[in-house]
Chains A and B, each alone.
Chain A
Amino acid sequence: MNETRDILTLAVEIGDAMLQNGGEIYRVEDTVMKIMAAYQLEDYDVYVLSNGIFASANEGKEDACSMIRHVPLGSVNLLKISKLNQLARDICDKKCTISEAWVRMDAIIHHKKDPLWIRVLCTGIGSGGFAILFGANFLDGSIAFGIGLLLQLLMLWFEKHHVGRFANLLICSMFVTALSLFPMCMGLPVSQDKIVIGCIMPLVPGIAFTTSIRDFYNSDYLSGVIHLLDALLTALFISVGVGLTIYIFQSLGGAMS
């Protein structure tokens, strides 16, 4: 009797974790359905949105149960998506009992993140690399690398203090633009625009945008709209941050190259 509830909870829990770490709607829905089918539930239904899951099982029977989850938009963790996907596959191949699945899922969810310095270093490398791709020279690239490091430090600090997403974006893009103005004012031969472009790359909504396209492709229109709106707002806040900083700089009498 309690088994139905246990299976449903497990399936929704896995779906929840996938969604939170950036899985697309179709995959989450598919996974939850397949897990319930694999454990021989017969009558079940799942509806997934980009920030919520609704599921029910055995509606017509005595042990009917249903579940609603609110899943806030989170940051992407590809490792967790991949591992949860593998877990779901094993469940479908009947290689994994319910209690084993619970243990494995707990291990995945509590998997430790990479050390912070790696994230800082990678933001630097990404910023520098993208600056060079967009036509910066080596000096610009190194400056972008340095600003990228500082950017991630700032982002980590914001994360720790739970600063809201849009305030975070606005301040971060103002921060990198302001920093990029320094070498220019010091008279170094840099292309300030390329430096900023490199440094806003860690902020641009590439993931939200791509996820949105995939949701639309799978006819999950509502979720597609949510992600698209997220992407547009993110882009908007970045440009406001950049624009505002340049506006202040020019008002103070600074000349842009």
Chain B
Amino acid sequence: MIGTIFLHFIIAMIATLAFAVLFQAPKSEWGLCGLTGGVGWFVYEYLHSQQGWHLMLATIVATLALTLLSRFFAVLRKHPATVYLLSGIFPLVPGAGIYYAAFYLISGNMEMFSIKGTETVETAGAIVIGIILAMGLPQAWLNHLKKKEKKAI
């Protein structure tokens, strides 16, 4: 199982990297964009599939982690956090929810439609909460983190 998660981490990284290229991210940041997406997915999958956390809670923590990571990269690399965040969020965006909701609605399976529809809205809501929590962290703390690192080197 750990092997699968690790493999998925790599795949999430590659897929996010591909999207970062599509959004014309700076070449030097492609790897870090991929890493942001990989970490987001890893946290989500570990908490949701392995630890059995609720979908929403797992998504909140994953979004929180990847948003903080993008803010940290932003300070470290002097690029806007947007560069990492917009690419990295993609693995968590409820594309599957959109598909299943449409599919069950058309198939007339209202019970599954409401389950999948709710899941989609919940995931979207969780992303909102995650980003807002991570944005709430004062910028000064992140800058401080970087200073510390410089001293250590």
Q: Give A residues with C-beta under 8 Å from B.
A: 22-24, 27, 76-83, 85-86, 113-114, 118-119, 121-123, 125-126, 128-130, 132-134, 193, 196-197, 200-202, 204-207, 209-211, 213-214, 217, 235, 238-240, 242-243, 246-247, 250, 256
CA distance A209 to B82 in the complex (A): 13
CA distance A129 to B24 in the complex (A): 19
Interface size, chain B (Cβ < 8 Å): 45
A-B contact pairs, 30 of them (CB 8 A): A23-B80, A23-B82, A76-B86, A78-B20, A78-B24, A78-B29, A78-B86, A78-B87, A81-B80, A82-B79, A114-B21, A122-B22, A125-B18, A126-B15, A130-B95, A132-B8, A197-B96, A197-B99, A200-B99, A204-B93, A204-B95, A207-B23, A210-B131, A213-B127, A239-B98, A239-B99, A240-B102, A243-B103, A246-B107, A256-B103
B55 within 8 A of A: no
Q: Which of A80, A122, A238 has the most CB of B within 10 A?
A: A122
Evaluate contact between B93 and A239: CB separation under 8 angstroms: no
Evaluate contact between A243 and B24: CB separation under 8 angstroms: no
CA distance A240 to B102 in the complex (A): 7
Chain A residues with Cβ below 8 Å from B89 are 206, 210
Interface residues in B25-44 by Cβ distance below 8 A to A read 25-26, 29, 41
Interface string of B46-79 (1 = CB under 8 A from A): 0000000000000000000000000000000011
Q: A82-B26, A129-B18 are in contact. Are A134 and B96 (CB under 8 A)?
A: yes
Evaluate contact between B82 and A243: CB separation under 8 angstroms: no
Option from A82, A123, A238, A239 in Cβ contact (under 8 Å) with B83: A82
Evaluate contact between A193 and B103: CB separation under 8 angstroms: yes
- B46 smallest CB distance to A (angstroms): 14
Evaluate contact between A130 and B22: CB separation under 8 angstroms: no
Q: Which of B15, B20, B91, B124 has the most CB of A within 10 A?
A: B15
Option from A24, A79, A200 in Cβ contact (under 8 Å) with B24: A79
Q: Which of A130, A193, A205 has the most CB of B within 10 A?
A: A130
CA distance A134 to B135 in the complex (A): 28
Evaluate contact between A217 and B8: CB separation under 8 angstroms: no
Chain A residues with Cβ below 8 Å from B132 are 213, 217
Q: A193-B100, A217-B135 are in contact. Are A200 and B83 (CB under 8 A)?
A: no
CA distance A81 to B26 in the complex (A): 10
CA distance A147 to B19 in the complex (A): 16
CA distance A197 to B102 in the complex (A): 11
Evaluate contact between B12 and A133: CB separation under 8 angstroms: yes
Evaluate contact between A85 and B80: CB separation under 8 angstroms: yes
Chain B residues with Cβ below 8 Å from A130 are 15, 90-91, 95
B14 within 8 A of A: yes
Evaluate contact between A250 and B106: CB separation under 8 angstroms: yes
Evaluate contact between B131 and A217: CB separation under 8 angstroms: yes
Chain B residues with Cβ below 8 Å from A81 are 80, 82-83
Chain B residues with Cβ below 8 Å from A114 are 21, 24
- B31 smallest CB distance to A (angstroms): 14
B110 within 8 A of A: no
